Structures are given as C-alpha cells and as structure tokens.
Amino acid sequence: MDARVQNPTDSSIGNLFGQLVDDGRGLVRAEVNLYKQIALYRASKAKIGIAALVGGGLLAYAGLIAFMVGLVMGLADLVGPVLGGLIVLAVSGIAAFLLFRFGAGKMAALSGDEDEKAALAAGERLT
C-alpha cells in the first residue's frame, strides 16, 4: 500500500514548462526584432531630415561668417581694418563665452537635481 502511484501527466507538465520557456524566448526574439526594424525604418526616414538640418546649419554658418566680414568691413572705414576685426572678435568671443557657460550649466542637469539624488539615495537604502 506504500507504493506511489505515478501520475502520467507529470512528464507532460515538464514538457509544457519547457515549451513555455521556448515560446517565451521566441516572443522576446520577435519583440527585439520588431523594435530593431522600427528603429531602422525611422532612421532611414530621418536621413533626409538630418541631411537637411546639416545643410541648413552650414548655410547659417556661412551667413554668419559673411555678416562678421561685413561688420569688420563696415568698422574698417571708421576705426581701421585691424581694430574693426578686433572689435568684432571681442564681441563675438564674449557672446560665445556666455553661450558656452549657459550651455554647460544646462548640461549639468543631466547628472540630476538634488531631489532626484535624494530619491535615488533613499531607494538605495531600501535595497
């Protein structure tokens, strides 16, 4: 009476779990492939937009250079060509410095603010 009766469905339950794991792997592969295809599709559509942005930026840069040369030439009649160039250099250098400082200050936000750091520290204490 002590003999165990083996359930014939035990081996099929193991097979079902194995099939579940295989199906899960297949699902993950399909999801990764889907997101990869979406990213490639979006990147291919964005190529023309990126090229247009780069072209526009280069044209704007060329226009800025032409404007700076015009300023130097305009000031050359009043104060001479060298001093005109130095004045434009000083004004544009100060503007560039201020823009770099402003941009560097905004980039510091990538490291997180004090509230975020406090929340992360509190989360680390919980684990």
* 56, 39 Cβ separation under 8 angstroms: no
CA distance 26 to 14: 18
* Local mean pLDDT, 10-residue blocks, the chain (127 residues): 53 82 92 91 85 92 94 93 92 92 81 75 69
Instruction: Quote helix, strand, coil % in the chain, to nearest 5.
Output: 90, 0, 10
* DSSP for 47-84, written as a single string: HHHHHHHHHHHHHHHHHHHHHHHHHHHHHHHHH-HHHH
pLDDT at position 104 is 84
* 100, 92 Cβ separation under 8 angstroms: no
Going by the DSSP 8-state scheme, the letter that residue 8 receives in this structure is T
**Torsional sign, CA 53, 95, 75, 85:** negative
* DSSP for 15-34, written as a single string: HHHHHHHHHHHHHHHHHHHH
pLDDT at position 76 is 92
**Torsional sign, CA 56, 57, 58, 60:** positive
Closest CA to 63 of 102, 99, 71, 87: 71
